Amino acid sequence: MIGLAGLAAAAICAGIIWQLSKAERFQLFGRLIYTVETTKPVVALTFDDGPSRKYTPQVLDVLRQHDVKATFFVNGDPASGASQVMSQIVADGHELGNHAYTHDRLIFVSPDRVRLHLMHTDQVIRAAGHSGDIHFRPPYGAKLFSLPWVLSQQGRLTVTWDVAPEEGAGSTAAEIAANAVQSAQPGSIILLHPHWRGNDQTRQALPAIIEGLREKGFEPVPLRDLLEMQGQ
Ligand SMILES: [Zn+2]
């Protein structure tokens, strides 16, 4: 008999594991950053998921018009079907990051499965012309044992965020932009999802986010540049 105390302990353990899996600022192994320690007024715009052949070019247009470089954490599966868009992201001077092959939660999966997600997505990113490190962002920010373990073995950096302006369902473009600009601090990593059909409010918010950040005296830079300003 497990008994009531045993069941309660199991429930507490499950609760702890669940909280641990979705912690944005902590993982069990390897290096994770959610912001960069700097006094310089710089932030990174990071775009998750996709890319999409239809909507990502609109994002690239806005970035080009505002002369902003950003970081795209792509899923290998849609990326492999959008090679022109992928090459354009790199040609425009943006940075690519790995967001796993599909958008499954990588918890309770084997290390081998994690390695395949990383490897197949890296291949698509390299084929697009990306050089230099490829950082990783977990789908849903979810990680538990095997994912951080493999990442640490590969010496790979996990990047989450400290500003998620789309949080709160039904956010309008104006609300998303205001959230992003108000929450941004020196070294902030801002999370946005601009790639799919349902993300039109985020796409509409993007010019106001860039303009608002600049009015506040902040310049958006790719993650690779932000990381170099660590401690400065
Ligand atoms: Zn995602």
Mean pLDDT by 10 residues, the chain (232 residues): 81 84 82 95 97 97 98 98 98 98 92 96 98 95 88 95 86 94 97 93 97 98 96 90
Structure confidence at residue 147 (pLDDT): 92
Report how far ligand 1's centroid is from the alpha carbon of 94 (Å).
18
Structure confidence at residue 169 (pLDDT): 60
CB 167 within 8 A of CB 192: no
Report how far ligand 1's centroid is from the alpha carbon of 73 (Å).
8
Report how far ligand 1's centroid is from the alpha carbon of 164 (Å).
12
Q: Exposure pattern of 197-213 as b/e (b: 16+ CB <10 Å)? A: eebebbbbbbebbbebb
Q: Name the residue with tokens 């609109």.
A: 58
Report how far ligand 1's centroid is from the alpha carbon of 215 (Å).
29
Report how far ligand 1's centroid is from the alpha carbon of 9 (Å).
32
CB 46 within 8 A of CB 227: no
Report how far ligand 1's centroid is from the alpha carbon of 186 (Å).
24
Structure confidence at residue 27 (pLDDT): 83
- Runs of H (alpha helix) within 3-159: 3-21, 56-66, 76-80, 83-91, 111-127, 146-153
Structure confidence at residue 102 (pLDDT): 97
Catalytic residues: 48, 193
Report how far ligand 1's centroid is from the alpha carbon of 6 (Å).
36
Report how far ligand 1's centroid is from the alpha carbon of 48 (Å).
5
Architecture of domain 10-228: Alpha-Beta Barrel (3.20)
Its pTM surpasses 0.85: yes
Q: Domain locations in the chain?
A: 10-228
CA gap 32, 102 in Å, rounded = 21
Q: Which of 63, 65, 100 is CA-nearest to residue 85?
A: 63
